[in-house]
Amino acid sequence: MALPYLLTAALIATPVPVLSAEPAFDVIPAPVSAVATGADFHLDRTTVIQTRTPAVGSLLAADLREATGLTIPVTPSAAPAGRKISLKITGGLGDGYRIAVDRSAVEIKASTPEGLFDGTQTLLQLRDGRAIAGGTIADRPRFTYRGSHLDLARHFHAPDEVKKYIDEIRRLKINYLHLHLSDDQGWRIQIDGWPRLTEIGGAEGTGVDGVGGGFLTKAQYTDLVDYAAARFVTIVPEIDMPGHVNAAQVAYPELTCDGVAPPPRTDTAVGYSSLCISSETTYRFVEDVIRELAAITPGPYIHIGGDEAHATPPADYVRFQDRVIPLVAKYGKTAYGWNEIAQSTAAYSSVAQYWGTTNNNPVLAGAVAHGMRVVMSPANKAYLDMKYDRNTRLGLTWAGLIEVRTAYDWDPGTHLTGVPESSVLGVEAALWSETLRSIDDIEFMAFPRLAAIAELGWSPAATHDWESFRTRLAAYGPQWTARGVDFYRSPQVSW
Ligand code: TNX
């Protein structure tokens, strides 16, 4: 392992001398390279954060205040006395960052505010009490897309819960949050042109088992988008179609072929509903939804679902995607969908989210040969709604039991035949909410497995090492505890 580790380090601008396979610090995701010196920096009342990127500086100050009780001023100019944490934008570091910590100063450098922010997230993990571990780190992401997903349709999760989740995922360098906003049971985002979607589809009782309900107004959605963006997380909204549309058809019977409203559904069956592919009303609806959603979504992607459309005849499915995928481009966004959309040639310029459980998907590999890009969410590895073991109180089992090591031990760059690493944008951990209600439920299923997926998305393959990961997880546990985050005490980890 030492050799590839060195090679990886040599790829960054100024190589730091390294390295053994044993990481110098307990950081998740593992950095590209790190050297510990033992010359720790101590935070005290004289410490200041000096930066011309105050947005990042104040987030760091807020985190340090919560963790240590110290109020650390953020200033653009050099402080005459006192020991400083400087956050600097410099050229040449791509989307990575550098950290140097010694007794008198902490310096984080990056070429973008996001890189700087990533560096601060690492810095926070170097802290023990008021000491920051001395040494140097050079780091950058393996993949640009590191995603997490929440299902607001099967059970609505309120904006404050989503914000708490954003706070946690960003610490693991997750930079996309995919929100599943519509399904058979409910519709969770305000669409002005079709108000009954949320009046009916977001009403009380629209969650699985008739529990819960709710939806995001556009103002709430925008507030979430802004909150996420301030932490360098991009929201990816999903409207699932042409299947998973029962809630929309309850609200608007003209979206069925016979014009008859189906009964509302709060069970967990899938694959029974379909938009009417031959009806112009369908495309008016779809275009209105995409246009309204694109207008409030600054991120590059609109996710159009496309999974499990078993009630849509195959030729109709392709006809639908051929027509809908260009609509996303028409409103300035890149279409993103579950891997079934790869059946449409229009999908070659879009992004597929692979959720299968095998290492082979010839249709997807064929689309990739034509330029389609892929986000890896294999359900038997990256579905955080699967139970950890047979006794897990929450979750499903259809894709298998997923203990922490199972979530960790795979490689997104080689997982799928015919999908080379160069076509992989990254990874995403999906968390479906059929069995989940509260933020505690979400946290218990997400952590610690999301840390495993985050590491696969960020860290070089050369750092992949289960023994190292389980050691670093054990060190991370107290941080979750301190922040009141629920997590599964996997017997595979010595907490
Ligand atoms: C499959 S994954 C689904 C969802 C379910 C999930 C439960 C995918 C694209 N579709 O509708 O919620 O399984 O694990």
- Which domains occur in the chain, in start order? 9-139 (3.30.379.10), 145-464 (3.20.20.80)
* Mean pLDDT score across all residues of the chain: 95
Q: Is 340 a catalytic residue?
A: no
Pocket test for ligand 1, best of 308, 386, 434, 435 (most atoms within 8 A of CB): 308
Instruction: Please tell me the distance from the alpha carbon of residue 253 to that of residue 285, in angstroms, as a whole number.
Output: 12
Given pLDDT bands bounded at 50, 70 and 90, which one contains residue 10? very low
- Expressed in angstroms and rounded, the spacing between residue 208 Cα and the centre of ligand 1 is 14
Mean pLDDT of the region 276-297: 98
Nearest to 475 by CA among 23, 26, 123: 26
Q: Coil, strand, or helix at residue 481? A: helix
- Expressed in angstroms and rounded, the spacing between residue 432 Cα and the centre of ligand 1 is 7
Mean pLDDT of the region 177-199: 98
Cα-based torsion angle of the residue sequence 438, 207, 270, 162 in order, rounded to the nearest 10 degrees: -40
pLDDT above 50: residue 20: no
Number of residues written out for the chain: 495
pLDDT above 50: residue 11: no
pLDDT, tens only, 347-401 = 999 999 999 999 999 999 999 999 999 999 999 999 999 999 999 999 999 999 9
pLDDT at 13: 42
Residue 48 phi/psi, 5-degree rounding, is -130, 155
Pocket test for ligand 1, best of 155, 270, 428 (most atoms within 8 A of CB): 270
In ligand 1, which atom is closest to the CA atom of 307? 9
> Would you give the DSSP letter of residue 337?
E
Instruction: Please tell me the distance from the alpha carbon of residue 208 to that of residue 210, in angstroms, as a whole number.
Output: 5
How many beta carbons lie within 10 A of that of residue 127, not counting itself? Answer: 18
Task: Tell me the two tokens of residue 465.
Answer: 């090492």
DSSP strand pairing (131-132 vs 105-110): unpaired
Q: Coil, strand, or helix at residue 425? A: strand
pLDDT at 22: 62
Mean pLDDT of the region 433-449: 98
Given pLDDT bands bounded at 50, 70 and 90, which one contains residue 24? confident
Asked whether 307 lines ligand 1 (CB < 6 A), one says yes
Nearest to 472 by CA among 460, 483, 480, 461: 480
Residue nearest to atom 8 of ligand 1 (CA): 307
pLDDT at 79: 66
- Do 240 and 182 touch, CB atoms closer than 8 A? yes
Task: Tell me the two tokens of residue 206.
Answer: 């629209």
Q: Residues 6 or more apart from 219 whose CB is under 8 A from it?
A: none
Locus of tokens 């906003």? 181
pLDDT at 1: 34
pLDDT at 23: 73
pLDDT above 70: residue 38: yes
In ligand 1, which atom is closest to the CA atom of 308? 10
Residue nearest to atom 10 of ligand 1 (CA): 307
- The single residue of 308, 428, 455, 467 carrying the catalytic annotation is 308
- Expressed in angstroms and rounded, the spacing between residue 197 Cα and the centre of ligand 1 is 21
Task: Tell me the two tokens of residue 46.
Answer: 């004289």
Asked whether 354 lines ligand 1 (CB < 6 A), one says no
Instruction: Please tell me the distance from the alpha carbon of residue 100 to that of residue 165, in angstroms, as a whole number.
Output: 29
Locus of tokens 């979504």? 297
Asked whether 194 lines ligand 1 (CB < 6 A), one says no
Task: Tell me the two tokens of residue 472.
Answer: 């670093």
- Expressed in angstroms and rounded, the spacing between residue 308 Cα and the centre of ligand 1 is 8
- Do 26 and 471 touch, CB atoms closer than 8 A? yes
What is the edge-to-edge ordering of all strands in the sheet holding 74-75?
A: 33-36, 135-139, 97-101, 105-110, 84-89, 48-51, 74-75
Is residue 349 packed enough to be buried (19+ CB in 10 Å), middle (13-18) or exposed (0-12)?
middle
Plot region of 301 (φ>0 → left; ψ -120 to 50 → alpha; else → beta): beta
Asked whether 203 lines ligand 1 (CB < 6 A), one says no
Instruction: Please tell me the distance from the alpha carbon of residue 248 to that of residue 255, in angstroms, as a whole number.
Output: 8
pLDDT, tens only, 309-338 = 999 999 999 999 999 999 999 999 999 999
- Do 151 and 255 touch, CB atoms closer than 8 A? no
Helix extents (H) in 40-84: 54-68
In ligand 1, which atom is closest to the CA atom of 151? 12
Q: Which residues pair with 375 in a beta bridge?
A: 353, 426
pLDDT above 70: residue 16: no
Q: Residues 6 or more apart from 484 whose CB is under 8 A from it?
A: none
Angle between helix 113-125 and helix 159-171 axes, rounded to 10 deg: 80
Half-sphere exposure (Cβ direction) of 60: Cα atoms closer than 13 Å: 34
Residue nearest to atom 9 of ligand 1 (CA): 307
- Expressed in angstroms and rounded, the spacing between residue 464 Cα and the centre of ligand 1 is 28
